Amino acid sequence: MYQDLKGKVALITGSGKKTGIGYAIAGKLASMGTHIIMADLGSLLPDGRQWEEMLGLSREL
């Protein structure tokens, strides 16, 4: 069902809530080796951390 997505890039909007579908999709694609760009209205997570902190590493485009 899934194509080989390793090394591909995915832009996922609405991924700011850990309980949301965007966040779940981002996690699944990342586990498949996809480079993820997560976009949401704010740069802070609900608990006040930055995205970079949560992910452990990041790059700005």
Provide the pLDDT for residue 44.
60
pTM confidence score: 0.62
Please provide the average confidence, as pLDDT, over all residues in the chain: 76
Q: Which residues lie below 8 Å from residue 43, measured CB to CB, with a gap of 6+?
A: 50, 51
Provide the pLDDT for residue 40.
75
- Band the pLDDT of 16: cuts 50, 70, 90: confident
Task: Provide the β-strand partners of residue 12.
Answer: 38
* Torsional sign, CA 37, 38, 42, 44: negative
Instruction: Give the number of domains in the chain.
Output: 1
Provide the pLDDT for residue 23.
86
Range of the domain at 22: 9-55
* Spatial contact of 13 and 22, defined as CB atoms under 8 Å apart: yes
Q: What is the rounded distance in angstroms from the CA atom of residue 38 to the CA atom of residue 23?
A: 8
pLDDT (tens digit per residue) in 18-40: 788 888 898 889 888 999 888 77
